[in-house]
């Protein structure tokens, strides 16, 4: 029977290397779509969609200056080669009209 000894420094070094690899990788971007109380649709992109929607809902966004305007979140999906911000904005503009859609 053989026993293997793993030193603490080897484990810590491996964990540090894994953290460094994760930090080098770009964060996943998401497309989010939400509806405002006045019926307009907002479409945006962010790495943290929940935080971005909360910031928009706070009233500090110049496009939506009043607070608590988000009525519902329609969807949040990852960006892909087929699903980009311009393509999603175009899809919603075609469906609802250009005056009803805001790209943020």
Residues 6+ apart with CB under 8 A from 96: 41
- Determine, yes or no, domain membership for 74: yes
Name the residue range of residue 69's domain. 30-103
- Determine, yes or no, domain membership for 9: no
Residues 6+ apart with CB under 8 A from 36: 42, 64, 69, 70, 71
pLDDT for res 10: 58
Tens digit of each residue's pLDDT, the chain (104 residues): 555 555 555 556 667 777 676 667 788 899 999 999 888 999 999 998 888 888 888 878 878 878 888 889 998 989 888 888 999 999 999 998 898 998 88
- Determine, yes or no, domain membership for 1: no
pLDDT for res 43: 93
- Determine, yes or no, domain membership for 7: no
- Determine, yes or no, domain membership for 11: no
Report how many domains make up the chain: 1
Neighbours of 50 (CB within 10 A): 12
pLDDT for res 64: 80
How far apart are alpha carbons 5 and 34 in whole angstroms?
54
Question: What's the predicted TM-score (pTM) here?
Answer: 0.70
């Amino acid at each position: 029977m053989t026993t293997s000894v793993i030193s603490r420094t080897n484990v810590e070094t491996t964990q540090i290397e894994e953290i460094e690899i994760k930090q080098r990788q770009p964060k996943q971007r998401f497309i989010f779509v939400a509806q405002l109380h006045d019926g307009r649709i907002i479409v945006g992109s962010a790495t943290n969609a929940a935080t971005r929607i909360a910031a928009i809902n706070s009233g500090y966004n110049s496009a939506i200056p009043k607070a608590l305007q988000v009525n519902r979140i329609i969807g949040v999906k990852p960006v892909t080669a087929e699903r980009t911000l311009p393509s999603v904005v175009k899809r919603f503009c075609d469906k609802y009209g250009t005056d009803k859609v805001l790209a943020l």
